[in-house]
Every structure is written in structure tokens, then in C-alpha cells.
């Protein structure tokens, strides 16, 4: 049932919610388009979720029936309809769909007012936004498949040559409850090569991907990594296991980061209150959108925790992250993947303008994105590469990717 139409000559109505799927080789971008009854006024968001493309697209279609006819500028109310009227608590698929729709609502609101979204989220709190990339400058194969010292040296040098002063690597081996001497020697060698290549002043982040199956195994690696002055170690234990994270934090001075797989403020609360994190990493594509991200950031700030949003996704997710960073006081650094494919800028014209290791402040209304749907059609949906299939030990044990 559509909501009652108020006597408001300035009302705007949602008329349709659509998705455009773009295959970016290693993953699909799920772009969300919200149409309105105002000529030319549409909003764009992103709801990309690796290996769940068709599920998210279906969730967007289901949620659309709840919000057609509503005013897209009533963002809080539209979000409540999608969450409260879904009845069952939404998991990662449903909340990712909501996040993409929510981005588009902010885009519409900004365009309707002629203001960039960051202005509506509280205004500007910094003059530029620090960013980091991965080995391969966003190429997902390099991120996960850099396994020898020569590759590491070459790819790290290219990152620094492009002007970045921070990068992240994924080099913790797949493992169980204890690490092996060989694996520890491998991590030591790789970090030695990496630090000698980039120099002492480039920040290095190490993503564990929760591969250690225990705090003890995580600490065995962190003891080695501490000698190379990392910016932080990310997701050293399973997401949501607050006690395990606290056990690691109690025995190291290396800053810890986590949160990309947590959904909403509710799941962040126990982790933030534990004082185990230095940096929280909500994914604005997966945790409920910009409003929920701001709530998480506010609680993190109260707990003396910084925020560095997770974002290995597409260009509209990057635009949302940019506006969040401009307006969030305890923001630390932003992950970005602008080199994920050679044609990254062809489908979406986005406001992220990098100078060195920073994005500039955008000024265009809304999120500042434009989508070329004809270009998008040249890269239709394809099943994503199942990287996680390699997360198997020599004896056949399946472990965390």
C-alpha cells in the first residue's frame, strides 16, 4: 500500500528502483538507480557484494515494492520502512541492498538542494581525504596473488611511484590454530622486502582476513610484523569475536583494525566498547549506508576509535566514502580501488580526484556521479572468480579465506 499523499506541492515521489550490474573482472558492481516523478531527477548508489550479486539484485527488487510512492528525501523514514517492514532481521544481503538504495536517496537529496552530500552529513571537517591502495593499484589479482618477493618488490614500487604514501597487503598464509615456522619466516621475508622497497615513511597495513584460527596464531604473526612499524593489522581474528580480539589487543602495542564484515551499529557496539580496536572499518556498502556509518563513527569517536571505511568496491561506493570522509571528524584513511580495471572511469564519472595520496573535496551536487548506461551494458554480469576456493590446507582442511 502506498503512503498517503500529503498536501505538499513540493513533494517528490519514488517511481522505480532499478539495478545495473557491471562486471569488473574480479567482481561485479551493483549500481542502484532510484527514479522519481521529477523530470531528470534520479539518484545513484552502489550495493556491490562479492559472490552475492544475484541475491542482492533480488533483494533490491523486493525492497523497491515497499518504497515506491514515498518521498526519497525522507531518508530516515524510507530506511525504517525497509528494515521494520521486512519483519525478519536483514543479514548482509538485505542490508547491502538497503545501503545501495540509501546512497541513491542521498544523491537525490543533494541534487534537489543543489548541495554536495557531505554538506548534508554535517559539513566539511577537513581539507583533503587521505587514501591508500593495494598492490597492483586496485587489481584484485595482485592483491591476493602476490606470493613471491620479486612480485612484491615490483608491485610495491609502482604504488609509491604513483604518489601513494600508504598501502595494504594480504600476505598472512592460510592457517589453523598455530602458525608454522616456515609460514612465520615467509611473512618476515616478505615484510622485509616490502619495507625496504617503500622506505620508512610509507604506511603499511596488513590484512589478516581472519586467517589465524586463534588469538595465539594471530599473535605469532603480529610479533613479527611489529618490527616493521605497521599502521595497523586488520581483522587478525574472526569478525564479531570480541573476546578473541580483546585477547590479541591485550598482548600487543600494534594497532588493530576490524569491522568490514559487521552489519550495522548493533554489531559494532560490543567491539567498540571493548577498547580492543584502534580503527573501525565499517563498509558503507554493507553496513546500512551513510547514516548508519555516521552513527558507527559517532560511537567510535566516543570510544576513542578512529574510522577507516572498508571499500574494495566500485566507483559509486568510492564517491559515498569520499563524502563520508569529508564530514567525519574521526576519519583516518580511505581504501580505494581506482585501478581495478583499465576502464574504471568509463562507466561511472565519479568525483574522486586524487592528488598524491589524497582525494580533493568534491563540489558537485549529490554524490557527484554520472553513469553511462551504454558503457555499463558493455560489461554485463558474469559469475565472479571464487578466490576463496584456494583457502584449503595441505591436508584438505577448509579454512578462512
Active-site positions read 209, 310
Beta strands (DSSP E) in 180-243 are 203-207, 232-234
CA dihedral (59, 65, 71, 75) in degrees, to 10, reads -30
Torsion sign, CA atoms 119, 120, 123, 127: negative
Q: How long a stretch of residues is the chain?
A: 401
Q: Kind and range of the H or E element at 120?
A: helix 117-120
- B/e letters for 183-217, b = 16+ CB within 10 Å, e = fewer, are beebbeebbebbbebbeeebbbbbbbbbbbbbbeb
**Do 226 and 184 form a contact (C-beta atoms < 8 A)?**
no
CB atoms near residue 389 (< 10 Å) = 9
Closest by CA to 163, choosing from 133, 196, 126, is 133
What the block records as the C-alpha cell of 88 is: 525478519
Which residue spans within 247-357 are E strands per DSSP? Answer: 256-258, 279-280, 306-307, 334-335, 348-349, 354-355
Are the beta carbons of 159 and 144 closer than 8 angstroms?
Answer: no
The helix/strand/coil state of 354 is strand
* Contact status, residue 222 vs residue 189, Cβ threshold 8 Å: no
Order the strands of the 14-23 sheet from edge to edge: 14-23, 28-36, 42-46
DSSP-derived letter for residue 238 is -
Amino acid at each position: 500500500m502506498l503512503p498517503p499523499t500529503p498536501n505538499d506541492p513540493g513533494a517528490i515521489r519514488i517511481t522505480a528502483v532499478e539495478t545495473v550490474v557491471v562486471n569488473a573482472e574480479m567482481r561485479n558492481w551493483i549500481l542502484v538507480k532510484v527514479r522519481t516523478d521529477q523530470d531528470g531527477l534520479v539518484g545513484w548508489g552502489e550495493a556491490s557484494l562479492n559472490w552475492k550479486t544475484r541475491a542482492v539484485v533480488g533483494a533490491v527488487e523486493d525492497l523497491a515494492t515497499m518504497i515506491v510512492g514515498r518521498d526519497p528525501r525522507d531518508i530516515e523514514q524510507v530506511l525504517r520502512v525497509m528494515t521494520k517492514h521486512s519483519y525478519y532481521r536483514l543479514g548482509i544481503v538485505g542490508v547491502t541492498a538497503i545501503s545501495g538504495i540509501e546512497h541513491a536517496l542521498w544523491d537525490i537529496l543533494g541534487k534537489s538542494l543543489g548541495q554536495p552530500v557531505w554538506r548534508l552529513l554535517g559539513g566539511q571537517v577537513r581539507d583533503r581525504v587521505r587514501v591508500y591502495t593495494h598492490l597492483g593499484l586496485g587489481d584484485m589479482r595482485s592483491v591476493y596473488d602476490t606470493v613471491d618477493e620479486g612480485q612484491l618488490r615490483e608491485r610495491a614500487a609502482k604504488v609509491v611511484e604513483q604518489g601513494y604514501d600508504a598501502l595494504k597487503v594480504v600476505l598472512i598464509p592460510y592457517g589453523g590454530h598455530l602458525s608454522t615456522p616456515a609460514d612465520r619466516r615467509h611473512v618476515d621475508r616478505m615484510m622485509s622486502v616490502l619495507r625496504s622497497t617503500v622506505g620508512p615513511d610509507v604506511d603499511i597495513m596488513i590484512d589478516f582476513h581472519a586467517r589465524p584460527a586463534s588469538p595465539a596464531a594471530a599473535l605469532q604473526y603480529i610479533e613479527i610484523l611489529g618490527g616493521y612499524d605497521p599502521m595497523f593489522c586488520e581483522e587478525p581474528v574472526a569478525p564479531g569475536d570480541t573476546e578473541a580480539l580483546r585477547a590479541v589487543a591485550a598482548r600487543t602495542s600494534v594497532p588493530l583494525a576490524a569491522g568490514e564484515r559487521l552489519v550495522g551499529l548493533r554489531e559494532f557496539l560490543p567491539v567498540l566498547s571493548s577498547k580492543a580496536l584502534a580503527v573501525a572499518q565499517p563498509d558503507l556498502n554493507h553496513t546500512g549506508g551513510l547514516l548508519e556509518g555516521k552513527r558507527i563513527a559517532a560511537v567510535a569517536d566516543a570510544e576513542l576509535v578512529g574510522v577507516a571505511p572498508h571499500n574494495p568496491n566500485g566507483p559509486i561506493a568510492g564517491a559515498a566514502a569520499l563524502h563520508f570522509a569529508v564530514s567525519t571528524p574521526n576519519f583516518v584513511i580511505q581504501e580505494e580501488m581506482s585501478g581495478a580495471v583499465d576502464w574504471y572511469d568509463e562507466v561511472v564519472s565519479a568525483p574522486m580526484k586524487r592528488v598524491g595520496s589524497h582525494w580533493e573535496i568534491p563540489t558537485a551536487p549529490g554524490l557527484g556521479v554520472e553513469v553511462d548506461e551504454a558503457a555499463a551494458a558493455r560489461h554485463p554480469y558474469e559469475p565472479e572468480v571464487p578466490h576463496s576456493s584456494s583457502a584449503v590446507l595441505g591436508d584438505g582442511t577448509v579454512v578462512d579465506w
